[in-house]
Amino acid sequence: MVMTLDDLILKYADDRASLSEEELDALIAGLRAAPERAVQLRQHLLVDDLVSQKLAFDRRNFPAQVQQRIADYERGEVEIQNQVVELRTLAESPLETAAGRGRDTAWWKISLAVAVLFLVVFAAIAPQFGSRTRISATVESAQSATVLQAKAGEALLVPGQVVATGQAITTAAGGSLKLRFVDRTLLEIGPDSVVTLDTDGDTRGKLVRLDRGGLIADVSKQRAGEPMLFATPHAVATVLGTRLRLSVDGLATRLDVLEGRVELRRRADQQTLLVSTNESGVAAIDNLALHELRWPDNRTGMIFLYDGNSEQTLVRSPQQPEVLHITRLEFTGLPNTSPPAADVGHLDLRSGYFHSSEAGDDLLPLFRATNELSLEVVFRADAQPAAVADSSLLPIIALADASAANFMLAEQENELVFQLSLAANSALRQIRLGRVGASRTHHLSLAFRSGQLNAWLDGRPLLDTADIRGSFAHWQPQELQIGGAAGDQAAWRGSIAAIALYNRCLTESELERNRRNYAQIHVPQ
């Protein structure tokens, strides 16, 4: 059974001799991570201490000896390092003496309580214990995450639990974990990751080992000379206080700095580079490189891009597949409406729709060549008029003409719908993706290859893998339409901030990275 900090405190208060050595370590680590709980426990222990002074005549002035050790702190940190080992001996010796003489256990229980109290005080005022600091963090939230404990084996993590030095954390494929350190540093561990908390032997700063997967860290300002380190098989990142993302695969480590600056050192040759806000450092097996943080990140297979500037919309030409060239989006207004304002940074679809025959012609052979498709769109839906919200299919993005569509993302009755043509002369395969909230910005990602369709809204999976098969070989030349069709009073109402189309099936990790990059670059937190 995994014990939370509350469980440990209650068990200790009820019977201070009942905690095992491992439970006592966990209690101390938990109180270090939650100082306010240490204050509450201290009040309880002081009462016990007053009673024990009346009852225990062979106490040998133990509190005075502990107070002397605290006074030693005034003489500097080097002295406290020398004294802390002796403090631990003082705390443990009454137990051994009492056990050896078979005396009443009341005295040594109180001694243990006072020892724990003052060790907690030491943890608060002198973070280094001897030559190696013990660090800990408290679980804020956990999903399919486990920790490997030396004596207890593997255990499922729960909110409130304390993770300490040397414990290995593993998250499942769909799991996640949030850890909060005592200095308020927040660590978010992503799916399919392996992380170990440790201490750097040289600086005594916090050390996080990431062997696989990814994490995001919001690092509070660290003590002078004690930077927080993130170590991977390929590199070490040195942090004084910043927001960052770190990911590891078999070939490289990628560091994204969201705020501040971080030094990245490649293990193989000790080369270093400084990664600043909105930059990425990549430490690979054979090189170390610096890149600008961008959206989309990996543009392999990207064949259309709108990123907020309709005058610079890009499309890939089949004749020059290595080049993205500028294409023009034309606007067609709905009857009795005014055209959208210029230079608004998004496609305003409240009064009409945008389309491009040129883009449609270029996209068709590229899709046919791979039979794969991925779509990212950042959009904001208006509350649709009652006259069209009942059952009308309101196109958002489509490769279509007046009579048919090769693919279409649409909204129907406040629910997202994706349609895909997979066979000639057959109805479009329609996948319902779920409801979408109006008047807020969403990031939708779709990824398709024959036999597999996945979708995510704001990073949340929308459906189990849909088993749909077919090819794009029968697709016909059609124009790229954004927001409806000419003269259609049932056009979708809203705005689109960004679109990226690919003729390959992106992985979940690629799409999640793109989503986070977009939020960092275009919607700073």
Could you report the average pLDDT of every consecutive run of 10 residues in the chain (525 residues)?
78 76 79 74 60 47 49 40 41 42 47 53 44 74 83 82 88 91 94 92 91 94 92 94 90 93 94 94 93 91 89 87 87 78 79 90 94 95 66 87 88 89 81 85 92 90 76 92 68 90 94 92 63
Please give the radius of gyration of the chain, using alpha carbons only, rounded to the nearest integer: 30
Tell whether 38 and 158 lie within a shared domain.
no
Q: What share of residues in the chain are helix, strand, coil (percent, to 5)?
A: 25, 40, 35
Determine, yes or no, domain membership for 130. no
Q: What is the pLDDT of residue 13?
A: 73
Domain boundary among 100, 125, 150: 125
Q: Is 32 helix (H, G, I), strand (E, B) or coil?
A: helix
State the SS3 of 217-247.
EEECCCCCCCCEEEECCCEEEEECCEEEEEE
The one-letter amino acid code at 369 reads A
Domain identity same for 253 and 362: no
Task: Give per-residue burial for 154-192: e unless 16+ CB within 10 Å, then b.
Answer: eeebeebbbbbbebbbbbeeebbbbbbbbbebbbbbbbe
The Cα–Cα gap between 95 and 189 comes to 40
Residue 263 sits in a domain whose CATH number is 2.60.120.1440
DSSP secondary structure letters along 56-116 = -TT-TTHHHHHHHHHHHGGG-HHHHHHHHHHHHHHHHHHHHHHHHHT--THHHHHHHHHHH
Final residue in a domain of this structure, among 292, 322, 356: 292
Closest by CA position to 208, among listed 184, 243, 242, 239? 239
> Where among 292, 314, 334 does a domain terminate?
292
The whole-number pLDDT of residue 39 equals 67
pLDDT of residue 46: 60
240 lies in the same domain as 213: yes
The parent domain of residue 412 ranges over 302-522
Dump strand ranges (E) for 117-234: 136-149, 153-156, 162-164, 168-181, 186-189, 194-199, 206-219, 228-231
Residue 83, both tokens: 């004294």
pTM above 0.85, yes or no: no
Domain holding 324: CATH number?
Answer: 2.60.120.200
Do 312 and 306 meet the contact criterion of CB atoms below 8 Å apart? no
The angle at the Cα of 82, spanning 78 to 87, to the nearest 5 degrees, equals: 130
pLDDT reported for residue 412: 87
The number of distinct structural domains making up the chain is 3
pLDDT at 273: 94
